Amino acid sequence: MSHTYRLWAPDASRVELRLGADGSTAVPMQQADGGWWETAAAPGDGRYAYAVDGGSPVPDPRSRWQPDGVHGPSALVDTSTFAWTDQDWRGVPLEGAAVYELHVGTFSPTGTFDGVVEHLDHLVDLGVSVVELMPVSAFPGRHGWGYDGVALYAVHEPYGGPAGLARLVDAAHARGLAVWLDVVYNHLGPSGNYLSQAGPYFTDRHHTPWGEAVNLDGPGSDEVRAFLSDNVRMWLQDYHLDGLRLDAVHALHDERATHLLEELATLADQISGRSGIPRTLVAESDRNDPGTVAPRGPGGSGGTGLHGQWADDVHHALHVALTGETDGYYADFADPGALPKVLGATPFFHDGTFSTFRGRGHGRPVDPDVTPGWRFVASLQTHDQVGNRATGDRIGHGLPAGRAAAGAALLLTSPWTPMLFMGEEFAASTPWQYFTDHDEDWLAEAIRDGRRREFAEHGWAGDVPDPQDEGTVSASTLRWEEVHEGEHARMLDWYRTLLRLRRQVPGLRDTPLGQGEVWRQPAGSGELLTVVRGDVRVVALLGGDSGRGDALPVSVELGGGEVLASFGDVQVAAGTVGLAPDTVAVLRGGA
């Protein structure tokens, strides 16, 4: 039985198909319409590659499988043969969701999709509804974050390849969990990037901080856009994924009337409409522009129609309030009004205000009548905010447990869709550091030097873990035995409780954006935070020691209300709630 092979190479004068693991069988390809080349041949062992104009054989840009790594030949795989059992799956809408971000390679000791499956029951018990996987498109070596992927259609083989991803999604659906995937369309990694040998996938008209910009609006860009939209279609249909997180969409430079993001949002909505299953596209954007998630309008008016957007300003304000760090981009968030603004009124502290880090005005306001709060995904920790610190320390590593618990309460009772980063829920002792696995010495050294310089500019002294050292990977791998131990188990119970309250208490779901209230009050050497949403109050005492080492409890009127949950030394007596330093309580009614 023959297989039809196709390659888009519009500028080529000759293309050969190379069959077999050693590429020893050469089959000439014929020109077809639109710059495509094609031929039919018996697949043999399933391995194949393309040689353009006499060059060395390179993988298929649309390869579904790279079993020998990103530099080896591609291999055929039939995704229609996956054994799905999720025929009754109806999906999880973004509204009301709670997201859990994880990295497949360090989530479990095996570093595989099957290793993730082993802990899905933990996530169900925790109370999240969406698992967001960091990128799994094939990237160089075994270990890495995945943002240097180069084979966008192939599933990273060390994780378990295409079949492994299908098993994970199927197992998650069986437990009621949706699965989103982080995808990177704004650039490709430097090692194994063979796309430019086939066609004009990149352009020098635009640039990104990470490499060549993808050609979205120049000559040949119709096929480049089709390459990306077909990739979205593959993930959502062939792998049954429920959504995608689109990395750094501000670096998708597109001067066309209809932006690529609008095209992708339309495609996802069409797939949702046909299947009856919500398909969610969430953008990471540095623009603070609510138009990213505003609905599309008639005649091209309105926003791009994406379904959700990360809101990093919420993280920044929480981080500064909890840690006191004000270096770099954190400086603006030392403003006393930052936390009340992002917890009650808008996800964007910079909504047209001056950003000292950028040296200019930044962002624009959110209209709550157009864009509800749940369209913004907010976090206390993410892979970026942990892994891009010099030693990969988590927010809880330098804080009292009660203060970290207060941060969790402020996030999980906020108007935004909450996202946790793996291990956060049990105060994991492990850091999460930056790691790579490049064969090229020059590239490995360039990454080491770049990390050192970046951290020096942020004022972080000390040794930076070597990204190429496998010990950096093992140090970043979760230790699952911790979930049953002491403070780790206590924190896990707190996160479970908060997520349960978020599902069960109407005030935490239904209070419209802008109708919450937030107060900050001095309390000894600390600060009392009060957040009101509907009939629910969150009260947290951050610090509060007298300076002599003795605790100064703060009393909060309970009235006829009740304590729904608390963490730390919280005492209830005579209609008041007494908060010791670094404690938090969730109250309903009264006062």
Are residue 574 and residue 497 in the same domain, yes or no?
no
> What are the phi and psi torsion angles at 373 (to 5°)?
-60, -30
Out of 182, 212, 284, 313, pick the active-site residue.
284
In DSSP terms, 522 is beta-bridged to: 527
- Note the pLDDT tens digit of each residue in 279-326: 999 999 999 999 999 998 877 668 999 999 999 999 999 999 999 999
Are residue 427 and residue 533 in the same domain, yes or no?
no
> Is residue 551, in this structure, part of any structural domain at all?
yes
Residue type, 356: T
Are residue 336 and residue 464 in the same domain, yes or no?
yes
> Is residue 274, in this structure, part of any structural domain at all?
yes
Q: Check: CB of residue 63 under 8 Å from CB of residue 151.
A: yes
Number of domains in the chain: 3
Domain boundary among 504, 538, 573: 504
- Note the pLDDT tens digit of each residue in 6-57: 999 999 999 999 999 999 999 999 999 999 999 999 999 999 999 999 999 9
Please give the structure tokens belonging to residue 499: 């997520």
Are residue 75 and residue 108 in the same domain, yes or no?
no
DSSP 513-560: TT--EEEEEEETTEEEEEEEETTEEEEEEE--B-SSS-B--EEEE-TT
Rounded-to-integer distance, Cα 248 and Cα 87, Å: 33
Please give the structure tokens belonging to residue 497: 């409780």
Please give the structure tokens belonging to residue 247: 């990395």
CA-derived radius of gyration, the chain: 25
- Note the pLDDT tens digit of each residue in 211-222: 889 999 999 999
Are residue 64 and residue 176 in the same domain, yes or no?
no
User: Where residue 350 sits, what CATH number does that domain have?
Assistant: 3.20.20.80
- Strands (E) located in 150-299: 151-155, 178-183, 202-208, 211-214, 243-246, 280-283
* pLDDT value, residue 248: 96
Are residue 295 and residue 345 in the same domain, yes or no?
yes
Are residue 287 and residue 407 in the same domain, yes or no?
yes
Question: How open is the CA angle 569-411-434, to the nearest 5 degrees?
Answer: 105
Can 284 be counted among the known catalytic residues? yes
CB neighbourhood size of 283 (10 A): 26
* pLDDT value, residue 565: 98
User: How far, CA to CA in Å, does 157 sit from each of 104, 154, 344?
Assistant: 12, 8, 44
User: Which among 143, 67, 50 has a CA at the least distance from the CA of 105?
Assistant: 143
Which residues touch 24 (CB under 8 Å, ≥6 apart)? 18
User: Where residue 50 sits, what CATH number does that domain have?
Assistant: 2.60.40.10
CB neighbourhood size of 281 (10 A): 27
> Is residue 511, in this structure, part of any structural domain at all?
no
Q: Check: CB of residue 228 under 8 Å from CB of residue 264.
A: yes
Are residue 69 and residue 158 in the same domain, yes or no?
no
Dihedral over alpha carbons 319, 321, 322, 323 (to 10 degrees)? 70
Residue 428, classed as helix, strand or coil, is coil
Can 95 be counted among the known catalytic residues? no
> Is residue 43, in this structure, part of any structural domain at all?
yes
Rounded-to-integer distance, Cα 50 and Cα 470, Å: 33
What secondary structure letter does DSSP report for 507? H
- Residues in the chain with pLDDT values less than 70: 300-301, 456-462, 546-552, 591
Q: In what order do the strands lie in the sheet with 36-41?
A: 3-8, 36-41, 30-31
User: Which among 48, 52, 39 has a CA at the least distance from the CA of 13?
Assistant: 52
> Is residue 86, in this structure, part of any structural domain at all?
no
> What are the phi and psi torsion angles at 40 (to 5°)?
-115, 140
Domain span including residue 531:
516-588
Q: Check: CB of residue 48 under 8 Å from CB of residue 29.
A: no
Task: Name the helix (H) or strand (E) containing 104.
Answer: helix 104-107
Q: Check: CB of residue 419 under 8 Å from CB of residue 404.
A: no
Rounded-to-integer distance, Cα 383 and Cα 562, Å: 36
Are residue 209 and residue 326 in the same domain, yes or no?
yes
User: Which among 223, 51, 45, 232 has a CA at the least distance from the CA of 153?
Assistant: 232
Are residue 152 and residue 202 in the same domain, yes or no?
yes
> Is residue 324, in this structure, part of any structural domain at all?
yes
Out of 16, 212, 247, 425, pick the active-site residue.
247
Please give the structure tokens belonging to residue 442: 């020059």
> Is residue 95, in this structure, part of any structural domain at all?
no
Burial class from Cβ neighbours inside 10 Å (0-12, 13-18, 19+) for residue 544 reads: buried
Please give the structure tokens belonging to residue 554: 């703060």
Mean pLDDT of the chain: 94
* pLDDT value, residue 58: 97
> What are the phi and psi torsion angles at 496 (to 5°)?
-55, -45
Rounded-to-integer distance, Cα 352 and Cα 333, Å: 15
* pLDDT value, residue 546: 47
Are residue 492 and residue 524 in the same domain, yes or no?
no
- Note the pLDDT tens digit of each residue in 451-493: 777 776 666 656 789 999 999 999 999 999 999 999 999 999 9
Rounded-to-integer distance, Cα 410 and Cα 416, Å: 11
Please give the structure tokens belonging to residue 129: 């509804």
Rounded-to-integer distance, Cα 304 and Cα 264, Å: 9
> Is residue 509, in this structure, part of any structural domain at all?
no
User: Where residue 549 sits, what CATH number does that domain have?
Assistant: 2.60.40
User: Which among 321, 327, 335, 326 has a CA at the least distance from the CA of 526?
Assistant: 321
Are residue 380 and residue 429 in the same domain, yes or no?
yes
Domain boundary among 504, 538, 566: 504
* pLDDT value, residue 299: 73
Rounded-to-integer distance, Cα 17 and Cα 25, Å: 8
